[in-house]
Structure 1
Amino acid sequence: SPSLTGLANIANFGHGTPTNFSVPAVMELLNYRWLSGTTTPFADINKLPHAAVCQLSPGSSIHTLVRYGILPEARAGVTDESLQVHADRVHQLLLANIRASVRPGDRVAVLLSGGVDSSILLGICCDLNLNVVAITPQHEGHHNPELETAKTFAAELGIEHRIIAVEEADVARHYADVVELLGVPPRCHSAVSLLILLRQLKGSFDKILYGEGADTLFGSKAVKHFALRFKKNQRLKKVFRYIPYWPWLFKVLPLPYKLRHLLQFDALNEAIAVNQIVLQEPLKASLNDRLVLDKELIKAGLNVSNVTVDTYERALLQLKQIIFSSSVINHFYELESLAADNSIQLISPFVCQPVMAYAASLSDTSYFGIESVKPVLRKIGERYFTPSLMYLPKYGFPVPHSNWLKGPLATWGREATVFFSCPIEYLADEEFAWCIIGLYLLAKRNHILPLRLFEIDGGVDAPPG
């Protein structure tokens, strides 16, 4: 369970005596988006496989019955068909999924970001004549580059579009509430905005549709970049194979940085790096001094223990699986928890087995596209919207967490550096600051003692106790 008890030493927990965070558990949390490996901070207690149903028997090893969140492998022998054929089939699968997920009379909200995925869901809801409203947040003092596009999507369908203001004055209170509801610092920066939205939607809607997962399944820029690097690495190795003593020459010759970096490309390392929080080098070095994580254990903890990287296809599948098992499932966990707390059911139409299985059969051309990723989904969008609208540059779901860290969350950030004996300069690293503030709030709420994470020379007073 990703809860406070998974981060704290529970020897005295619940007995009125303050306790401490486990240093290894905190370091894992600060290093990775999802706790990795198979061990826990507790003696003789190991973690079950990620997203699995297991049978437990005394004295026997764990037997895994079903494993969820596993991306299907590509089906052998599938011939690539026209983009229109793929679009028609995926469209029918999404229609069937949403029809089965929404009952007659349900009041439905679609989180409309202004991107491809959410706009398609809105169009399908119109096809099904659902009682649907589009919802988009507008953050105070922050320009949302997709807002006007979202307005155009809703207008072309003639759907009511509610733009909900996210006031900066509400951010700190809702961040603290997210931390309390989840039991850990939120990994998704959008969790705070979404909680504000959900609280305003409570009582007015039964279901909320969310387009998460579509990028990984139908066309991710990160996967496309990985694929290009993988192929270039393979071609370079073929060329270097004919150069005598090339491994030795590689070490001694002053090769250009890009070439050297490309030759050192390793599929497993690159895939795991996607899941690792991008930290500034001094901070990353400090964390790694305290905790070294086993890549094989990380891989096993991310639902990819049976995937090897011996071929191009398997390397791509592994990368997709790591993205899916970390950021996507993490996002589902957070948003579903927040939605349930507000009596709203989360529906994610892209993440169902028939849709996932079909996405696995797409060729590189149908996945990466020529100019734009997600060509199949864009083709579906042409059913509902002006074609040019579907091919505008997309900027995602921007959340001004950088502004929040400098504004409403700044005081907690400074207090956290004292509590964890941390150089205040590390707050410049946004991922670190976002996480350490959440840990600090958990500690305050649960009477956990200050914890010295870093050895520092002046600049920050050591915490009491």
Structure 2
Amino acid sequence: MCGITGIFDLRGQRELDRGTLARMNESQHHRGPDEGGTHLEPGLGLGHRRLSIIDLSTGQQPLYNEDKSVCVVFNGEIYNYQELIPELLSLGHVFHTRSDTEVIVHAWESWGEACVQRFRGMFAFALWDRNRQTLFLARDRLAVKPLFYAHLADGLFLFGSELKSLLAHGGLPREIDPLAVEEYFALGYVAEPRTIFCQARKLPPGHTLTLRRGQPPAEPKAYWDLRFSLHQPLALEEACDELNKRLRESVRLRMISEVPLGAFLSGGVDSSAVVALMAGLSPAPVNTCSIAFDDPAFDEAKFARIVADRYQTNHHCEMVASDDFDLVDTLARLYDEPYADSSAIPTYRVCQLARQHVTVALSGDGGDETFGGYRRYRLHMMEERMRSALPLALRRPLFGLLGRVYPKADWAPRVFRAKTTFEGMARTAVEAYFHSVSILRAPMRRQLFTDRFRRQIGGYSAEEVFRSHAQRAATDDPLALIQYLDLKTYLVGDINTKVDRASMAHSLEVREPLMDHELVEWMATLPSALKLRSQEGKFLLKKAMEPSLPYDVLYRPKMGFAVPLARWFRGPLKERIRQAVLGPRLAETGWFDQAYLRQVVDAHQSGTADHSAPLWTVLMFDAFLRNVLDSTTGPAETRANANAVV
């Protein structure tokens, strides 16, 4: 796991400043504290920070081919590199290291842009081919590893593993993209390919970007997409056997390491399955790490201990106070742009704990999307059955009216909370799913934003992110459609972002066997009834793991990795949330309706409504303004850049 960065002159071969490149590289020191390297030639600079995992003695980067005409900087792991080396040797290539990085160089020489089709892993890399005057960038299929870039007005192209490396260059305008603000307040993150800054972008998952000197900037090109064919109606026993085989292979590949290795163990199905498989593949006890909470409503530690005892792991568990809210500013600096998943707090802590014992940790991330585990999937499927009974032309006016007039009753028993159901019934499947996952739903965003800001976004809605992906989903299966949407949005923008930044803050590599693209592709061939059956999510995974895990671990209610926001904002964070939400920094932007913000805070703190998620979203936006914008520009310039969007 590493950090990469670079500068490319698209127009010519200007001399680049070595100090600027070094500053960009050093901004990501946390991603690779073991070593740092740069490559500089007229019109090109590449930087790399290394966290040594494989080929500790000779895997330094930037890494070159035999005549140094090809150079690469790489973040991630190519898990099938040992299979590719003999093939590349047979094609006449000479290897000088035992690293997966060198495979990328020679694969490019033999297969060009198609080399990414041969890689099985998590990766983001930039490769320079001097003979072709070409810079080639690529990101893995499920965007486990990040890659940001920007085209500057003077013809320079910047890239890096984190936005902070682009900001460190000094030439990236810090003008906030108003459409990104709309996406953030709807989703809690800025969706690919947008970033919070107008001129910076994220390379989308499964895409490459090829830049040639002297030619206009190219657009990213897709090399992979997931197709839910659902064409393999396997018997349950056969499907369980095949799944177990594929899971073992995925875990085995991710256990290749020359440094201490372990796993996160939350006590949930996904991480427990990974640990069980690791135990069967490892001759030594597996190192496992868990976080315990002092609030029983959020604590899964006892289930983690059950799995740890069963497999006799070297288990490390650390208690985290449920009032562990001092990380707000730290998280804002880590993420570089607004990010509102409060589970970033325990994720940060478990990475901190794991790094005390291991350098590489396997996780269960991706299991909900791959196997159909989210509770919202069950609710969506129930709504879909009701939606299918009435045409949209009838549903939209009838249930739209009911949704508007029915009171929002967060305090009431679930049976009386019909407002969301009515609102969902008035929508198409895609509209309803977007509505269900939104943190601030459309009516709330309309009240939150000022008239000036709404004019600036020109009618744009973050719902467009979902609609554009749905057009490419190529499936009319209701479960497959929302799985596809989550794989393109929530998994990439929320889950992978959270884990990458939290782990890299502690120089910890996290590997996700449940996101192996071959496993994900195979699961997409199976009928949805093997994923969600009789309201049981992850049906196939649970059946496959029944011989390996206790019933109470497999079939207990899902808890999630949450923190008690509602209580915080009525108790220990009561004044802090008021100061942030109603303070001068947000007011000076001119983006937010101050009267409405006061109404939201008052309603939450009086107990008449639970606005904890929207308030956290506003709090983290304020933290972004303070810790990212205010730390890199003067106060006057910060205000000017903020007001540029309205």
Once the two structures are aligned, what percentage of the paired residues are identical?
16
1:213 matched to 2:366: yes
Question: Which of the numbers 338, 351, 368 marks the counterpart of 1:198?
Answer: 351
Deviations 1:17-37 (A, max 9, x none): xx8856554343223333258
Distance 1:265 1:363 in 2: 25
Matched residue, 2:228: 73
Matched residue, 1:444: 626
Matched residue, 1:62: 219
Deviations 1:108-144 (A, max 9, x none): 3322222111111110011012542222212234543
Judged with a 3 Å threshold, the aligned counterparts in structure 2 of structure 1 residues 64 and 101 are, in CA distance, closer, same or farther, namely same
1:26 matched to 2:188: no
* Alpha-carbon distance, 1:361 to partner: 1.9
Of 253-262 and 48-57, deviating more is 253-262
* Alpha-carbon distance, 1:230 to partner: 2.3
Preserved contact between residue 126 and residue 132 of structure 1 (Cα < 8 Å): yes
Question: Which of the numbers 373, 376, 396 marks the counterpart of 1:222?
Answer: 376
1:326 matched to 2:517: no
Distance 2:399 2:376 in 1: 32
Distance 1:71 1:288 in 2: 39
Matched residue, 1:353: 517
Q: What TM-score do the two structures reach when normalised by structure 1?
A: 0.78
Q: How many residues align?
A: 430
Q: Which amino acid aligns with 1:35?
A: V
Deviations 1:214-250 (A, max 9, x none): 112112332233233223322334xx9xxxxx85997
Preserved contact between residue 339 and residue 345 of structure 1 (Cα < 8 Å): yes
Judged with a 3 Å threshold, the aligned counterparts in structure 2 of structure 1 residues 411 and 133 are, in CA distance, closer, same or farther, namely farther
Distance 2:472 2:506 in 1: 38
* Alpha-carbon distance, 1:297 to partner: 4.0
Preserved contact between residue 74 and residue 361 of structure 1 (Cα < 8 Å): yes
Gaps of 5+ in 1: 14-18, 241-245, 453-465
Q: Which amino acid aligns with 2:435?
A: A
Preserved contact between residue 176 and residue 197 of structure 2 (Cα < 8 Å): no
Matched residue, 2:153: none
Distance 2:258 2:203 in 1: 39
Judged with a 3 Å threshold, the aligned counterparts in structure 2 of structure 1 residues 100 and 420 are, in CA distance, closer, same or farther, namely same
Preserved contact between residue 27 and residue 287 of structure 1 (Cα < 8 Å): no
Matched residue, 2:536: 372
Question: Which of the numbers 400, 412, 426 marks the counterpart of 2:564?
Answer: 400
* Alpha-carbon distance, 1:346 to partner: 0.6
Secondary structure of the residue that 1:54 maps to in structure 2?
A: strand
Preserved contact between residue 53 and residue 66 of structure 1 (Cα < 8 Å): yes
Matched residue, 2:306: 152
Of 358-367 and 291-300, deviating more is 291-300
Identify which of structures 1 and 2 has the higher relative contact order when contacts are C-alpha pairs closer than 8 Å and 6+ apart: 1
Distance 2:442 2:397 in 1: 28
Of 331-340 and 345-354, deviating more is 331-340
Distance 2:517 2:569 in 1: 39
Residues 219-368 of structure 1 mapped to structure 2, 5 A cutoff: 219-220=372-373, 221-237=375-391, 264-279=426-441, 281-282=443-444, 284-287=446-449, 290-291=453-454, 292-294=459-461, 297-299=464-466, 303-307=469-473, 312-313=476-477, 315-329=478-492, 330-368=494-532
Secondary structure of the residue that 1:350 maps to in structure 2?
A: helix
Distance 1:39 1:99 in 2: 35
Matched residue, 2:598: 424
Of 153-162 and 139-148, deviating more is 139-148
* Alpha-carbon distance, 1:211 to partner: 1.0
Distance 2:368 2:460 in 1: 28
Distance 1:164 1:190 in 2: 16
Preserved contact between residue 192 and residue 203 of structure 2 (Cα < 8 Å): no
Deviations 1:43-81 (A, max 9, x none): 7x58466322223463475250435xx4332253x2x22
Question: Which of the numbers 369, 378, 385 marks the counterpart of 2:549?
Answer: 385
Judged with a 3 Å threshold, the aligned counterparts in structure 2 of structure 1 residues 324 and 331 are, in CA distance, closer, same or farther, namely same
* Alpha-carbon distance, 1:104 to partner: 5.7
Residues 163-182 of structure 1 mapped to structure 2, 5 A cutoff: 163-167=317-321, 170-172=324-326, 174-182=327-335
Distance 1:411 1:20 in 2: 30
Of 226-235 and 91-100, deviating more is 226-235
Distance 1:380 1:192 in 2: 32
Distance 1:148 1:28 in 2: 37
Q: Which amino acid aligns with 2:226?
A: L
Gaps of 5+ in 2: 1-147, 149-161, 407-417, 588-593, 605-610, 641-646
Question: Which of the numbers 127, 141, 161 marks the counterpart of 2:280?
Answer: 127
Q: What TM-score do the two structures reach when normalised by structure 2?
A: 0.58
Preserved contact between residue 136 and residue 164 of structure 1 (Cα < 8 Å): yes
Matched residue, 1:455: none
Distance 1:169 1:128 in 2: 38
Judged with a 3 Å threshold, the aligned counterparts in structure 2 of structure 1 residues 187 and 203 are, in CA distance, closer, same or farther, namely same
Secondary structure of the residue that 2:486 maps to in structure 1?
A: helix
Preserved contact between residue 232 and residue 262 of structure 1 (Cα < 8 Å): no
Preserved contact between residue 21 and residue 448 of structure 1 (Cα < 8 Å): no
Preserved contact between residue 146 and residue 394 of structure 1 (Cα < 8 Å): no
Preserved contact between residue 272 and residue 322 of structure 1 (Cα < 8 Å): no
Judged with a 3 Å threshold, the aligned counterparts in structure 2 of structure 1 residues 84 and 335 are, in CA distance, closer, same or farther, namely same
